[in-house]
Amino acid sequence: MGYSWRVGENVNIGRGKMEDVANCRSNETSLRDSGQTSGNARSVVSVQTGVPENVPVKCEPRRSRLKVFNKVMEKSLQRLIADASFNRFAHSFHPLCKQNPQMAEVIHKQFVSDLQKAIQEDINKVIEEGDLQVKLEELDRLEEQAKDTPGPAWRPSGVPEQDVCSVLIPYHRGQEEYVRRELRKLQKENAALAQRVQSGRDTITHTEQCISAAVDEWKASVADLESFVSSFCPSENFESL
């Protein structure tokens, strides 16, 4: 009995999903038809009033994708819970409901509550793991920025080589220009360091020359002093004493 009830529930869920797809397709068709009708109406109005067609028309702000996603999940959950009605539960568990209908109703309520809680937790987990909030807000931001772009957005050309080159070549050119800037910067720093090294070497050479000149002067002074002392005190006089 439990297996048959689960199969019936799965079939009902599948039917609900098929109905959602059919509704989405019918909505897209109606939106497309309404868009064409509104376009024709705008063209008629422009012809009658003389207003150019390219005049921007103010439209209502589009709802964020996150709110639409939450609304769709809420509606789907409500439809799923509605499909898990007590009548179906009673039909699958007829002996239990016949013997104790109050207990069966309590079990059904608890089952629906746990099912709703488990599905909501799974939805929140998917949103958290997939980081849907940030990604959907990023899509809204990109769409808002695209409104100010007059030209068409990039589309693949159909030739993979051209598409890859169109993406990689500007990147590699930017990297090449970056490397050239860094090379010029390093060359400039090396030139400054070489100049500082040469300046230090010149300073050392000048210091060595000054030291050598001072040593020569000191040696000359010592020689003059010795000659001066020897002129006043000859060595013979010291020997006679």
> What's the predicted TM-score (pTM) here?
0.37
**Residue span of the structural domain in which 208 resides:** 162-229
Top pLDDT among 236 and 197 is at 197
Last-in-domain residue among 107, 130, 153:
130
Res. 33: pLDDT tops 60? no
pLDDT digits 0-9 by tens, 156-185: 888 888 888 888 999 999 999 999 999 999
123 and 172 belong to one structural domain? no
Domain end among 130, 153, 186: 130
- The SS3 assignment for 52 reads coil
Question: Are residues 67 and 126 both part of a single domain?
Answer: yes
In a domain, 91, yes or no: yes
Residue 19 within any structural domain of the chain:
no
pLDDT of 189 strictly over 90: yes
Q: Is residue 195 part of a domain?
A: yes
Report yes or no on 32 lying in a domain: no
Between 97 and 211, residue with greater pLDDT: 211
Q: 115 with 167, same domain?
A: no
Residue 198 lies in a domain: yes
pLDDT of residue 17: 45
- Whether 119 is covered by a domain: the verdict is yes
Q: What is the pLDDT of residue 233?
A: 60
Can you tell me the distance from the alpha carbon of 185 to that of 179, in angstroms, rounded to the nearest whole number?
Answer: 10
Q: Which residue has the higher pLDDT, 109 or 41?
A: 109
The per-residue pLDDT for 235 is 54
171 occurs within a structural domain:
yes
pLDDT of the residue at 2? 42
Mean of per-residue pLDDT scores for the chain: 75
Q: Find the mean pLDDT for residues 215-236.
A: 78
Q: What is the mean pLDDT of residues 210-237?
A: 80
* Domain end (from 130, 154, 178): 130
Total domains, the chain: 2
Of the given ranges (6-15, 94-103, 221-230), which has the lowest mean pLDDT?
Answer: 6-15
Does 71 lie in the same domain as 122?
yes
**Does residue 42 lie within any of the structural domains?**
no
